[in-house]
Amino acid sequence: MASVDEAQDILRTLGLPPAQSNEMSALTLISLCALGPHDPWTKAKRTRCTVTKGIMDYVRRTFGKDYAPNTRETFRRQVLHQFVQAHIADYNPFEPNLPTNSPRAHYAVTEAALAAVRAYGSTKWKEAARKFVTEHGELKVLYSPEREKQKVPITLPDGQEVRLSPGKHNEVQKAIVEEFAPRFAPGSELLYMGDTAKKNLVVNADALAALGIPITDHDKLPDVVLYDRVRKWLFLVEAVTSHGPVSPKRIVELEAMLKRCKAGFVYVSAFPDMTEFKKHAKDIAWETEVWLADVSDHLIHFNGDRFFGPRSRS
């Protein structure tokens, strides 16, 4: 049943640090899943929860735990912010364009966390938890001092510096922004870049919306999106280290999602080296580009009789 002890066990197993696997955090998780003390975890569901009326009131009514009104910020700053970073909760998923100070601001358990939580107590729990941690990492590791030292610094086109979580995938993303963009998309704007630990690291929501790109679908966007305003070219770049080159299937998905965007699409599969490229060569779609970070001055054109530029749409 959805007890505080079980919720704490779930949070610890999914990689939350001690400060986010305490009683308040456990009750928050149960509230986000809309469960009572006698409900099995299989009944967890994704609901819209504000902080005061959605979570604190629910905890008081359902579990008899009455937190003082001034603890609202503690819920928000010490639990929910970290839940979002850990991919346990989404912020404003049902109204993503709400202003920061909107009274309608809300949270909901993520689809990925919901799938894991529903398996708790069953024979599928260990595999579900392992899948979640593999895909989203562990916040307790992300918060460790040693990991901070290992982060990958990256300088954006506007001179701003951000730090990506360590890993081969993000090293390729760094190369895309710092090496590919100046050579093949000079003067372009970085509209979107994800991170293996933080899905939406850089998001220019206004520019994406102006291009007709649905900003609620970040999880479907390529790893890096650049826009050349002069040529009106949108560079859709996948950083490939284990999976995910621009395949025919991926193009169909992206064209459906970006159907309102009038820019020319330049699809790029970016690899760290020739070895990784060879593993995926058979899956790469024609009329797309391939770039290898270790020979950054060159492109491989999977273009038939056409040279570098936007792909013709089906």
CA nearest to 86, candidates 2, 4, 17, 162: 17
- Greater confidence (167 vs 176) lies with 176
Residue 146's pLDDT is what? Answer: 47
Structure tokens that stand for 29 in this block: 């998780």
Flag whether pLDDT at 147 surpasses 80: no
CATH for 4-142 is 1.10.10.1820
Q: At what angle do helices 125-136 and 111-118 cross, to 10 degrees?
A: 160
Residue 167's pLDDT is what? Answer: 75
pLDDT, one tens digit per residue, over 240-274 is: 986 789 999 999 999 998 999 999 999 999 999 99
**Rounded to whole angstroms, how far apart are CA atoms 54 and 71?**
14
Residue 180's pLDDT is what? Answer: 96
Residue 305's pLDDT is what? Answer: 59
- Greater confidence (28 vs 97) lies with 28
CATH for 152-302 is 3.40.1350.80
| Residues 147-173, mean pLDDT to the nearest whole number | 74
**Which stretches does DSSP call E strand in 161-298?**
161-164, 189-193, 202-203, 224-228, 233-239, 264-271, 288-292
pTM: 0.53
| DSSP H or E run through 108 | strand 107-109
SS3 61: helix
- Greater confidence (2 vs 310) lies with 2
SS3 104: coil
pLDDT, one tens digit per residue, over 168-200 is: 888 899 999 999 999 999 999 999 987 765 555
Flag whether pLDDT at 27 surpasses 80: yes
Distance of CA 274 to the CA centre of its chain: 27
Residue 196's pLDDT is what? Answer: 62
**Rounded to whole angstroms, how far apart are CA atoms 125 and 106?**
28
**Rounded to whole angstroms, how far apart are CA atoms 271 and 278?**
10
The answer to whether 11 and 46 have CB atoms below 8 angstroms apart is no
**Rounded to whole angstroms, how far apart are CA atoms 61 and 56?**
9
**Domain assignments of the chain as residue spans, ordered by start:** 4-142, 152-302
